[in-house]
Chain A
Amino acid sequence: MYEEELHRLSVKLLDEVEYIIGYTSGTLPFRSRPFLCRKKEEVELLTFDHFSGSNLTRYLLSKDLREKKVAILAKGCDARTITVLLREGQIKRENVVVVGLPCYGMVSLRKLEKHFGSLRPQDFTWHLDTFTFQGKTQSIGPFLENTCQRCLYPNPPLFDYLVGSRVEYVPRERWKEDSLKRLEEISSEKRWEFFAQEFQRCIRCYACRNACPLCYCKECFAEAQRPYWLSPAATRSENLFFHAGRALHMAGRCVECGACERACPLEIPIALLPLKVEELVREHFTFEAGVSPDREPPLLTYRENDPNEFIK
Chain B
Amino acid sequence: MVNEENWEPKIVAFLCHWCSYAGADLAGVSRIQYPPNIRVIRVPCSGAVNPLYILKALREGADGVLVSGCHPGDCHYLSGNYFARRKFFLLKELLRFLGIEEERVQFSWVSASEGQRFSQVVQEVVESVKRIGPSRKNIKEFVFHV
Contact = CB atoms under 8 A, between A and B. Distances in A.
A–B contact with Cβ pairs below 8 Å: the answer is yes
B56 interface: yes
A312 B108 contact: yes
A307 B51 contact: no
A194 to B, nearest CB: 8
Contacts, number: 114
Q: Which of under 10, 10 to 19, 20 to 34, or 35 or more describes the interface residues of A?
A: 35 or more
Contacts of A192: 98-100, 137
Interface stretch (B3-11, B25-33, B80-88): B80-88
Given A191-B98, A192-B99, A308-B85, A230 B90 contact: no
Q: Which of under 10, 10 to 19, 20 to 34, or 35 or more describes the interface residues of B?
A: 35 or more
A248 B94 contact: yes
A206 interface: no
A302 B83 contact: yes
A310 B141 contact: no
* Chain A binding surface SS class: helix
Contact of A247 (B94, B96, B124): B94
Interface string B88-121: 1111111111111000001111000000000001
A193 interface: yes
30 contacts: A184-B97, A188-B99, A191-B99, A192-B137, A195-B98, A196-B99, A196-B137, A236-B141, A237-B137, A237-B140, A237-B141, A238-B59, A238-B140, A238-B141, A240-B137, A244-B98, A245-B51, A245-B52, A247-B94, A248-B87, A273-B97, A277-B90, A280-B89, A280-B93, A299-B86, A306-B89, A307-B85, A310-B92, A312-B107, A312-B121
